[in-house]
Structure formats: structure tokens, C-alpha cells
Amino acid sequence: RKIGEEEAYSLLRKVAMNEKKKISEIAQSVITAAELLS
């Protein structure tokens, strides 16, 4: 998605809180998904 760094970070934090995971775990799955889509 075309969003800024801060917006992306807050989105990651929100997802991490919802799923009770570390931000790094969420970020890794986002990167993996991005690689699959490209």
C-alpha cells in the first residue's frame, strides 16, 4: 500500500497488539507477503 513510514508503523503496532505478537514478527510477515505479490 502507498502509505507513509509513520502510518505503516502505527498500523504494524495496531496489528501486533491485536494479535499479541511482536512488531518484528508482523513486519516479517508483511515483507514476506510483499515479496510474494511482487
Q: What is the pLDDT of residues 6-30, one digit of tens each?
A: 888 888 788 877 877 777 887 888 8
Burial of residue 29 (number of CB atoms within 10 Å: 0-12, 13-18, 19+): middle
Q: Which three cell numbers stand for residue 2?
A: 502507498
Q: Which of 10, 12, 30 is nearest to 21 (CA)?
A: 12
* Residue-level pLDDT at 1: 58
Closest listed residue to residue 1, CA positions, set 30, 23, 21: 30
pLDDT at 35: 85
